[in-house]
Amino acid sequence: MDARFAVLASGTGTNLQALLDHPLIGPSIALVVSDKQGTGALGRARSRGVKSVVLEPGQYRAREDFDRALTTLLEDEAIEYVLLAGYMRILGGHTVRAFRDRILNVHPSLLPAFPGGHAVRDALSSGARTTGATVHIVDEEVDHGPVVLQEAVLVLPEDDEASLHRRIQEVEHRLFPRAALLLAEGRLKVEGRRVHVLGDDEGTSAERPG
């Protein structure tokens, strides 16, 4: 596939791994960016020979300077699509505008339920019986942009945060590469808050079984 992806990650990088392991997406990942040193995601990139860069917000005087540095890095690497795979920062407006409708985020809940950095914990403590995983297009608001793919995960009585998150991540690892492929194939048409999947007979934004 003739596309250039950057993956931004802050953590262990299991979603990055799922993207690297995908036969079409993996070879198209040109850059991994981490916002701190020593993350699992950096190790995964290095062991695949993918270029990785640490860009720490603390090195910049203002948030906006960091935002511009990130945008410049992505543009210098001729990146076309950006995937937020456990990137635990709010992407700045400069980057969002430069890559409008070309940035996807994976989030461990059925948005708009449980946005933010503690989605799994919040779902558990709310007593919800169902939560899930969402892949959405990134806009200027946090965990807000149009939904591309979503799938539900049942909350089991014996679940703790770790067990529920593990099952949600299994779903994320399937949904995220699929959404990235649809994006790079030009098959996502955004109309307001709805995303139509072109070439999908029913043009639905929901994930159908099978």
Instruction: Please tell me the count of residues contacting ligand GAR according to CB under 6 A.
Output: 16
Q: Could you tell me if 182 and 171 are in contact, meaning their C-beta atoms sit under 8 angstroms apart?
A: no
- Select 61 or 148, whichever has its Cβ closest to ligand GAR: 148
> Which residues, 6 or more positions from 35, have their beta carbon under 8 angstroms from its beta carbon?
8, 10, 54, 55, 56, 57, 87, 88, 89
Contact pattern for ligand GAR over residues 109 through 128, marking x by CB under 6 A: --------x-x---------
Among 3, 7, 14, 111, contact with ligand GAR (rule: CB under 6 A): 14
Rg (CA), the chain: 16
**Which residues are 188's β-sheet partners?**
197
> CA-CA-CA-CA torsion for 7, 16, 129, 143, nearest 10 degrees?
-10
By beta-carbon proximity to ligand GAR, the closer residue of 75 and 170 is 170
Minimum CB distance to ligand GAR smaller for 11 or for 57: 11
136 counts as binding ligand GAR under rule CB under 6 A: no
Instruction: Say how far apart CA 198 and CA 187 lie, in whole Å.
Output: 5
At its nearest, how many Å lie between ligand GAR and the CB of residue 8?
11
153 forms part of the interface with ligand GAR (CB under 6 A) = no
Structure tokens given for 132: 């899930």
For the bound state, the minimum distance from the C-beta of residue 204 to ligand GAR, rounded and expressed in Å, comes to 22
Its sign, for the CA torsion 170, 42, 104, 65, is: positive
Is-catalytic flag, 107? yes
Q: Is 15 in the site for ligand GAR (CB under 6 A)?
A: yes
Q: Rounded to 10 degrees, what is the CA torsion of 106, 111, 112, 117?
A: -50
Answer for which of 1, 4, 11, 144 binds ligand GAR (CB under 6 A) is 11
Give the nearer residue to ligand GAR in terms of CB position, either 84 or 188.
84
**Binding footprint of ligand GAR on the chain (CB under 6 A):** 9, 11-15, 85-86, 106-108, 117, 119, 143, 169, 172
User: Which residues belong to the active site?
Assistant: 107
